Amino acid sequence: MSTSEFDALNRQHALPGKLAFGPGPGGLAVAVVNNSHASAMIALQGAHVMTWTPHGQQPVIWLSRAAAFAPGKSIRGGVPICWPWFGPHPSDAKLPGHGFARTVPWEVVESRSLRDDRTVLVLRLAETEATRKQWPHATPVEVEAHITVGTTLEMELVTHNNGSAPVTIGDALHTYFEVSDIREVKIHGLGGCPYLDKVDGGSRKQQQGPVTIGSEVDRVYLDSTADCLIEDPRWRRRIRVSKRGSRSSVVWNPWTEKAAKMGDFGTRGYLNMVCVESTNAAEDVVNIGPGGEHRLWVRYAVEPLS
């Protein structure tokens, strides 16, 4: 983005002292938020929340120190938006995993400060010839990301079916949370849920008690609508993941080998992260009727461990 484009963007959407746009890592255009509650950085590519840190807290969102930042390249960490499919494309392995939304530019459509000083930023992805090539379908669809930065982080992914035919999407907020040491963390809220274990051929199992991680974990929890709690004893906190409009959750940590193969995790990055993803994936994809919409909403909150 050129200086004059940043100037135009700031003239239209900057919030003095709270929100400004400029070049970020790798020259990617970013929105930088700093209000009385928290700081955050959001790449316009993919409407990708890269960082969110409530003042006085350790970072809540993990961003790999070895992440690559380049146009069209997915960013390792933050909150990747998976849309309009989750995971591998259902029929064409040549198409990007987790859809194209996270690697294309989104347009800023609104910014505002709320009365409680939280900062709202709304971005929209309108379809293009390039996206239609990857996702040919009869009905015009667009998606918006509503991001609210405060002592909590709220995100809502709104898919609008603007046409006269139904459309099916998979979507997710593929959030990387920062933890002190994954080996000490417990994830509550999924006990009793059935899950597909992608580390064991996708076999269907049932979660017993909290999730603990001591090797590669990649699980799609079905019928999971309750809050998840990421309990971090060393940082004496837990991160509450609340959601609406999502019927499945994914827990993922690549552990050593997979992280090394991916190349953008850094040497020990996997020890300080866990993905708890709010998704509509696998058998939980979403059908949106003509003129309808689907909302996937999350709220992340940090709570002290008594």
Instruction: List active site positions.
Output: 174, 277
Asked if 218 touches ligand TA6 (CB under 6 A), the answer is yes
| Strand ranges in 115-183 using DSSP code E only, listed in sequence order | 119-126, 141-149, 152-161, 167-169, 171-173, 176-178
CA 5/CA 84 separation, integer angstroms: 28
* Residue 25 in contact with ligand TA6, rule: CB under 6 A: no
The per-residue b/e assignment along 215-242, b for 16 or more CB within 10 angstroms, e otherwise, is ebbbbbbbebebebbbbbeebebbbbbb
Cα separation of 201 and 198, whole Å?
5
Among 286, 288, 222, 271, which Cα is nearest to 250's? 222
Q: Least separation, in Å, of the C-beta of 175 and ligand TA6? A: 10
Residue 224 phi, psi (nearest 5): -110, 110
Least distance from ligand TA6 to the Cβ atom of residue 150, Å: 26
Q: Which is nearer to ligand TA6, 146 or 174 (CB)?
A: 174
- Select 233 or 263, whichever has its Cβ closest to ligand TA6: 263
Spell out a b/e string for 65-103, using b for 16 or more CB atoms within 10 Å of the CB, else e. Answer: eebebeeebbbbbbbbbbbbbbbebeeeeebeebbbbbb
Return the residue nearest ligand TA6 (CB atom).
252
Q: Does 249 bind ligand TA6 (CB under 6 A)?
A: no
Q: Is the CB of 67 or the CB of 120 nearer to ligand TA6?
A: 67
Q: How far is the CB of 97 from ligand TA6 (least distance, A)?
A: 4
Q: Toward ligand TA6, which CB reaches closer, 121 or 220? A: 220
- 80 versus 245: smaller Cβ distance to ligand TA6: 80
Q: How many positions of this chain bind ligand TA6 (CB under 6 A)? A: 12
Angle at 19 between CA 116 and CA 25, to 5 degrees: 135
Residue 237 Cα distances to 189, 191, 234, 273, 306, angstroms: 16, 20, 8, 14, 8
Residue 114 beta carbon to ligand TA6: minimum distance, rounded to whole angstroms:
31
| Tokens (6 digits) for 36 | 């009385």
Among 156, 178, 232, 277, the residue binding ligand TA6 under the rule CB under 6 A is 277
As measured in angstroms, the least distance from the Cβ of 87 to ligand TA6 is 5
Q: In the set 35, 51, 64, 74, which binds ligand TA6 (CB under 6 A)?
A: 74
> Could you say whether residue 178 binds ligand TA6 (CB under 6 A)?
no
Candidate residues 13, 37, 48, 98; the one interacting with ligand TA6 per rule CB under 6 A: 98
* Residue-level length of the chain: 306
Q: Does 52 bind ligand TA6 (CB under 6 A)?
A: no
Q: Which residues bind ligand TA6 (CB under 6 A)?
A: 74, 80, 87, 97-98, 174, 198, 218, 250, 252, 275, 277
